[in-house]
Amino acid sequence: MVQNTSKLAWITGGGSGIGEALALALDKQGWQVIISGRTEHKLEAVVAKSQQIAYFLLDVTDRAQSQQVFNTLCEAYGLPDIVVLNAGYYTPMPLKEFNLDLIYKLNQVNYLGVMNGLAPVLPAMQARASGQILLMSSVAGYRGLPDAAPYGASKAALINFAEALYMPLKQQGVLLRVVNPGFVTTQLTAQNSFKMPAEITSTEAADRIVEALDSTCFEITFPKRFTYILKMLRCLPYRLYFFLISKVTGK
DSSP state of 86: -
Q: Which of 32, 116, 186, 227 binds ligand NAP (CB under 6 A)?
A: 186
| Binding segment toward ligand NAP, per CB under 6 A, in 115-123, 165-173, 178-186, 229-237 | 178-186
Q: Is 63 exposed, middle or buried (0-12, 13-18, 19+ CB in 10 A)?
A: middle
Site string for ligand NAP, 115-154 (x = CB under 6 A): ---------------------x-x----------------
Give the whole-angstrom CA distance, residue 157 versus residue 47: 32
Give the whole-angstrom CA distance, residue 14 versus residue 20: 5
| Binding segment toward ligand NAP, per CB under 6 A, in 76-84, 117-125, 166-174, 187-195 | 187-195
Dump strand ranges (E) for the chain: 8-12, 32-37, 54-57, 82-85, 131-136, 174-181, 184-185, 200-201, 219-222
Site string for ligand NAP, 72-101 (x = CB under 6 A): --------------xxxxx-----------
* CA pseudo-torsion sign 111, 116, 117, 118: positive
Is residue 223 near ligand NAP by the rule CB under 6 A? Answer: no
Phi first, then psi, for residue 82 (nearest 5°) are -135, 135
Residues noted as catalytic: 151
Is residue 203 near ligand NAP by the rule CB under 6 A? Answer: no
Q: What are the residues binding ligand NAP (CB under 6 A)? A: 12-13, 15-19, 37-39, 42, 58-61, 86-90, 109, 113, 136, 138, 181, 183-184, 186-189
